[in-house]
Structure formats: C-alpha cells, structure tokens
Amino acid sequence: MEATATALMPGRSLSVRAAAITLENVTIGYDRRPAVHHLSGEILPGELLAICGPNGGGKSTLLKALAGLLQPMGGHIARDGAKARDFAYLPQAAQLDRTFPISVQEFVALGALRRKGIFGRIDAAETASVERAIAGVGLKGFETHALGQLSGGQLQRALFARLMVEDGGVILLDEPFGAIDAATTEDLLALIAGWRAEGRTVVAALHELDLVRRAFPKTLLLSREAIAWGATGEVLTTKNLSLARTMAKAHDADAAYCHRDETSERADAL
C-alpha cells in the first residue's frame, strides 16, 4: 500500500531564481542527427508548461537541453542569467538503477550536491531539509529502506523529495506520472501546484492528455518541431494531435541537419 503524503505544499519562499527561458531557432540532436528542429518560444518565470507529443517526438531531448545536459546543434537557449543550480531535472524513473545500494534518506540527500559539491558536508540544516522533503512526499518511516524495496509510486515520491532538496527555481520533469497509482499522481500534482504557488517554473514531458488538460495551463505540442505552443485548450485539438502523429510517422531518422532561417515558414503550417 502506498504511503499517503501529509505535507505536500511546503509554502517556502523561493530561494533561487525562476528565470525566463527563451529558445531562438533551436535545433537539438545527437551525432549531427536532429531530434528537435528549429524551435522558438519563451517559458515565463512561474509558468506551468506541459510538453506533449508522440513517442520519439523530442520531448526528453528538449528537457535535457533545457537542463543544460545537451548543447543545441543550432540556435540558442537563453536562461536570463540563471545558473545551473537554479535548474532541477528529473529523468524518467526507468533510467534509475534501483539495484544500487542506497537508502531513501541517502538518495534524497543527493539533492544537496549542487549546493554542497561532491565532498561537501551535509550539515544540520541540510539534514532537516531532507527530513522535511521525505515527510512532505509521504515517505516518513521509509528513510532506511533501499530504493529496490520501493514500489513504483514510492520511488517516484522519493524522486520528488530529492527535487525538493535541490530547491531549483526551474523544475524539469520527464514522464513523472508513468506507471504509478492514481493516489500518488494526485499527491504529486498537489506538490507541483505548490511549487507553482511558490513562483517556481515547472516544465513536464507528459503523455497523459486528460491530466494535462486538467492541471497544465500551457502546452507545447512537439513532434520533432513545434505543432502548437500556447493555451492548453487551443493546442490539444484533434487537428493538432493528428498532425503531430502524421509528422512523427514521416520522420527520417537519417536526415542531416538542415539550416533554416528563424523567420521562414514551416512547410506543413496549420
């Protein structure tokens, strides 16, 4: 049975910057093979943005670029002077090695690394922050459990607790609700709402369109390039979703990087 969250909205004052993020004709890829083409737009401070689209449409690639883990092949991402520690990134849970011998408390404490460094000491204040985060996601009593002992929902709660300790002004989530129970989903949505209330920016790659329509005011529909970006109700239309699927099927994985002026129109414009 999943733990029940007891203090999901910490009500903290924002201690780091929720910077504006501006993408200017950005192309991102691997080995000169583009995965996201010529993307331009702005993510405002404090915004709650969902990135939706078909599998292979570039959602995870874009999040990695926003986090600074991938450098654009072309174009520019401006972060309004924000530093790396201002960004907290949550990869997909499937990328985590659950066999690694680490306890929940030790895992959550890793969120302090950006402030303390690898050899930094976890002092009383950091320890208290870890304890609050664990309690805040409903895992009090699980501190000494190994990650491999946790259910899928409990693991996701631990990942969110680590984000709380990271204390980023911009929070990037890659498929945070995959394969978890409904109660955990609702608890984590409440935590995201709390982050937004604190003035943090939250950007999440999501497949659950009903959840996006309910909880995310802004959406970027991405299928290698932007299909639409704006108010969720205006983006997630039948026409746009159909176009996203069509573009995903037509994608050529061997296509070379193409140079295109930011002002040029997309051939498949709506």
**What is the CATH number for 35?**
3.40.50.300
Q: What is the pTM of this model?
A: 0.86
> What letter represents residue 124's amino acid?
A
Tokens of 35: 């995965």
Instruction: Assess if residue 97 is contained within a domain.
Output: yes
Task: Give the integer Cα–Cα distance in Å for 166 and 159.
Answer: 11
Instruction: Assess if residue 64 is contained within a domain.
Output: yes
Host domain of residue 78? 21-249
Instruction: Assess if residue 268 is contained within a domain.
Output: no
Supply the pLDDT for residue 178: 85
* Count of the separate structural domains present in the chain: 1
98-148, pLDDT tens digit by residue?
888 999 999 999 998 876 666 556 667 888 999 999 999 999 999 999 999
Q: Which residues of the chain have pLDDT under 50?
A: 1-13, 262-270
In our burial notation (b when 16+ CB lie closer than 10 A, e otherwise), range 114-135 reads beeeeeeebeeebeebbbbbbb
Instruction: Assess if residue 220 is contained within a domain.
Output: yes
Task: Give the integer Cα–Cα distance in Å for 67 and 88.
Answer: 8
SS3 assignment, position 246: helix
Instruction: Assess if residue 260 is contained within a domain.
Output: no
* Structural element, H or E, at residue 46: none
Q: CB of 22 within 8 A of CB of 47?
A: no
Give strand ranges (E) for 176-261.
201-205, 218-222, 226-231
Tokens of 61: 């690639």
* Structural element, H or E, at residue 238: helix 238-249
Tokens of 125: 């204040």
Supply the pLDDT for residue 16: 59
Instruction: Assess if residue 263 is contained within a domain.
Output: no
Instruction: Assess if residue 79 is contained within a domain.
Output: yes
SS3 assignment, position 137: coil
Instruction: Assess if residue 118 is contained within a domain.
Output: yes
